[in-house]
Each structure stands twice: as C-alpha cells, then as structure tokens.
Amino acid sequence: MNMNQGQATESTSGINLGSTVPHFGNNVTQAIRVVDLENQVAVRQEEIDILKQKLLGLEADILIKQEALTKIAEQEQEIKILKEIALEKEKWREQATGLSQDNDRLRQVNEDLTMETRRQRQTITQLQEKLMLMSTILDLRNTELQQEKDNKLRLKRKLHVLSTAEETVECRGRFRRQSLKDCPRCHAAISATTICRYHPKTPVKLHGTFYFPCCGLSGKSEPEGCQSSSHHQMGFGT
C-alpha cells in the first residue's frame, strides 16, 4: 500500500483526520514494508540456503560424477590394455601353437633319426661281423696258401729227386766207407752194433742240405736211418 492509495481511502470514507488525529500511516506502512522485506529476505535466505545446499549437493554430485568419469576412464584404459593383452595373448597362443607343431615335427624327425641310427648301427654291426668272417676266411686262405706253398716245395723237391739220376751210396764221397769195418749202408762200424739202420734211397743235395726221399728228412748231415736190418752189409769201399 502506497501513499496515494491512503489518501484515496481517506477521501472515500469521508473522514479527514487532518490535524486532529496524529498521522501514523507512513510509519505503519514502512514497518509493514520492513516486515515484508524481512520476510522476503528470510524466504530469500532460505531459498539461498536451499540453493546452496542444492549447489553443494550438485558439487558433490559433480565430484562423484568426476570420480565416476575418472574411474570410467581408468576402466576404459584398463579395458583397452586388457584388449591389447588379449590380442597379444592370441598372438602368443598362435605362436605357441606354431611352436608346438614345430616341436612335434622335430620330435618326429628325432624319432626318424633315432630309427635310422639304429638301422645304421645294425648295418655296421653286420658289416663288422662280415669283416671278421672275411678276415677269418682270409687267414684260413693264407694258411691254406702257405700249406700249398709248402706242399709245392715238397713236390718240387720230390720232382727233382725223381728227375735226378739215381746214385749209389758208394758214389758219393760224403757217405763213402772209410774202412772194411764200416757198413756201406749205415756207415757204422760192423763190430759196434748188430742192428743196421739205413736209408734205402739215395739222398739228394738241395741248397746245401741233403734230402732223403725215402723218409722225407733233410739236413746237412745224414740222420738216423728210417729202415733197419738185423745184420750189416759187407762190402769194400773204393
């Protein structure tokens, strides 16, 4: 209510206080206005307090949302890292699969090489056995060859004996009797022994030694006779 409105009210009612009634209208109006203002200020203060509380709540919400956004960003970063790890894991899994396949191939190659080594060892063992057998056969052949050489030498001597003209004991100066008391067959003294041991065939001289074809003995001197008689032979030396 303003002053114009008060004057209109006074004129309408027909009461004119004028100078007879003390004039309190303006003070009351001002007091009412102060109260209204104070009430409005209180309301406004309450609204301000409410707005402050809401603002604080909003700030808290903002902080919570910021923290949530930060956590979301961290989680997104972790998810990104996990995805990268998953991709790396998949790559490593593929590499592990490839390495496992390579390992299987190498294991198979190793087994094949082991089997081949065993076969080679068996082959080497068989070859060694064959070599030992061939060495034994060679030794036997060498022995047989040596025996054949010895037999050939003996046959050669016999052939030489057979192809040489037969000689008498008396024709050879080495076995010639020195006195009438010596036996012309065994060249021993007749009075010394009653048994005559002699060689029935003429000896042959080969390479500085005498070979006796009747018994196969040889030497630089006459060996003991291969035949015997109960009496000596009487004869004269030349």
Tens digits of per-residue pLDDT, 163-191? Answer: 554 443 333 334 444 455 677 777 777 76
In this predicted model, what pLDDT tens digit does every residue of 94-129 receive, in sequence order?
Answer: 888 889 999 999 999 999 999 999 999 999 999 999
CB 185 within 8 A of CB 196: yes
Which pLDDT score, from 0 to 100, does residue 238 have?
A: 35
Which pLDDT does position 148 carry in this prediction? 86
**Do the Cβ atoms of 197 and 168 come closer than 8 Å?**
no
Q: What is the 3-state secondary structure (H, E, C) of 192-210?
A: CCCCEEECCCCCEEECCEE
Q: In this structure, how many other beta carbons lie within 10 angstroms of the beta carbon of residue 232?
A: 22
How far is Cα 188 from Cα 175, in angstroms, rounded to an integer?
Answer: 11
Give domain limits for the chain.
24-124, 168-238
> What would the DSSP string read from start to end of 90-118?
HHHHHHHHHHHHHHHHHHHHHHHHHHHHH
Average pLDDT over the chain, rounded to whole? 76
Q: Whole-model pTM above 0.75?
A: no
pLDDT per residue as tens digits for the range 33-60? 787 788 888 888 888 888 888 888 888 8
Length of the chain: 238
